[in-house]
Amino acid sequence: MRYVDPRFQKAVLKRLEALGHGIFYLILRIAGQPGAYALLIPVVLIYVIAGRRIHRLTSPYLRRRFPKHNLVKRRRDTFRIVHSFGQILVDRAWLGLNRSARLHCSLDGWDTILGLIGQRKGLVLLTAHVGNWQVALAHLKDLPVPVHALMHYEEEVVAKHYFDLRGESCPFRIIKTDGFLGGVVETTAAIQRGEVVTIMGDRLAGGSSATVRFLDSQVRFPAGVYRLAAATGAPIAVLLAAKTGRQSYHLRVWDVFHPSYRDRKHREADLTAWTSRFSKALEAYVTKFPYQWYNFYDFWDQ
Amino acid sequence: MDQLKQQLKEMIVQDLNLPNVKPEDIDDKAPLFEEGLGLDSLDAVELVVLLQKRFGVQIADMEEGKVAFASIEALARFVRAQQGNISKSTDTSVFAT
């Protein structure tokens, strides 16, 4: 077999990726969102048929979400999950290119959020890498108190890029997790002032964790957020957004709870119970929207 | 100041649940986090809340946190300074009315 320099391969792939992006943007300008959606179908199809890596990345989730599906159905599932992720990316690009474009967003639980803010104990909005979390965060500009988002560098880049493209100011202040003590000083201070902090509750990036069941398997979830809420007395609302149509999203509060330790002896058990509430909310979400799970790695090995 | 340092040490040991540490084991000049006393970022959450509840002082941001959490000595200095500011602002408002 002929030897190909890996650096050359990488450079070619990078060029192809850039070309792919360029073609998508061109189609978006010429044919709008429907045109880009149409192009997405053959592109994802080729990706799913020819690529092996994508199956490795999606199978840990798909085999738990659809344990009875055979190989053919599993391929179809992979297509659907990648296709739905592609649509989210197209939507973001479409909103960026066309500033007058709007997505219709229905809200379920907005009064609950306003009620929790009214208690002046601060509020933790717990979200996850499902649906389109930028859409969820974009709506926070209408809240009556400042909103902060505790974010890793990659999420911060994506969020800033989204609002920059729209020509809109970011509706929340970003607290960086790479700062002193992972941004917890600012986060705690914001909660103490009665403000809102949004945190992604699914991906574990070190630190405190709790192991709970999710889709019939044990998985480690971050538990720091529950320690934060218990220490400050802030309630937690699980807020997740789902794409429900070509130009529509549904934003819903899936659960609300008030973490408070029973006593020192039961701290770990309490943390596990609150983590489990989040995993159940997430499970209910993926039961309803199975193809909007965007953690493309072995989530059960985190 | 020594009494305040002792109060802070006792609060850390008891409320942050450090079973193998005694207040007298904590060095006044040792860092509270990582290589010093070994507290982690989530202990910081509880410490910030405790400082507000017990001493009425707030650590608002990373810069203040870096200064305050450098050691027990630094924390005591920070609490004393903040309490001074609080009483000054209270005095001012009394004069203003």
pLDDT tens per residue across span A162-197: 666 666 667 788 888 877 778 888 999 999 999 999
CA–CA distance, A127 with A125 (Å, rounded to integer): 6
Q: Contacts of residue A207 in chain B, CB cutoff 8 Å?
A: 40-42
Q: Each residue of A131-159: pLDDT tens digit?
A: 987 777 777 888 999 999 988 766 666 66
- Taking the C-alpha atoms of residue A39 and residue A27, their distance in angstroms, rounded to an integer, is 8
Q: CA-based angle A208:A213:A218, to the nearest 5?
A: 75
Q: Which residue of B has its CA nearest to A206?
A: B41
pLDDT for the residue numbered A102: 80
Whether pLDDT at B94 is above 60: no
Cβ-Cβ contacts under 8 Å, B46 against chain A = 227, 231
Residue whose C-alpha is closest to residue A261's, from A236, A237, A226, A209: A226
Question: Which residue in chain A is spatially nearest to B41 when comparing CA positions?
Answer: A181
Q: Which residues of A touch B (CB under 8 A)?
A: 179-189, 192, 207-208, 224, 227-228, 231-232, 264, 267
Q: Are A54 and A48 in contact (CB under 8 A)?
A: yes
What pLDDT is attached to residue A208?
A: 84
pLDDT digits (tens, 9 = 90+) for A2-44: 666 777 777 877 787 778 888 888 998 899 999 999 999 999 9
Distances (CA, A) of B31 to A192, B4, B15, B26: 25, 17, 18, 10
DSSP string, A207-258: SSEEEEEETTEEEEEE-HHHHHHHHHT--EEEEEEEEEETTEEEEEEEEEE-
| Dist. CA A110–CA A116, nearest whole Å | 10
Classify B77 as helix, strand or coil.
helix
- Amino acid in position B45: V
* Sheet with strand A248-257: strands edge to edge: A104-108, A248-257, A236-245, A123-127, A196-200, A147-151, A173-176
Query: Is the pLDDT confidence value at B84 over 50?
Result: yes
**Percentage with pLDDT > 90 across chain B:** 37
- Is CATH 1.10.10.10 what the domain over B2-18+26-96 is classified as, yes or no? no
Is the pTM here over 0.95, yes or no?
Answer: no
Is the pLDDT reported for residue B92 higher than 50?
Answer: no
Name the more confident of A139 and A258.
Answer: A258
- What is the model's pLDDT at position A115? 97
Does B76 contact chain A (CB < 8 Å)? no
What residues in A contact B64, CB-CB < 8 Å? 185
- Give me the residue spans of the domains in chain B: 2-18+26-96
CB contact under 8 A, A185 and B44: yes
The closest CB to that of B17, out of A179, A208, A264, belongs to: A264
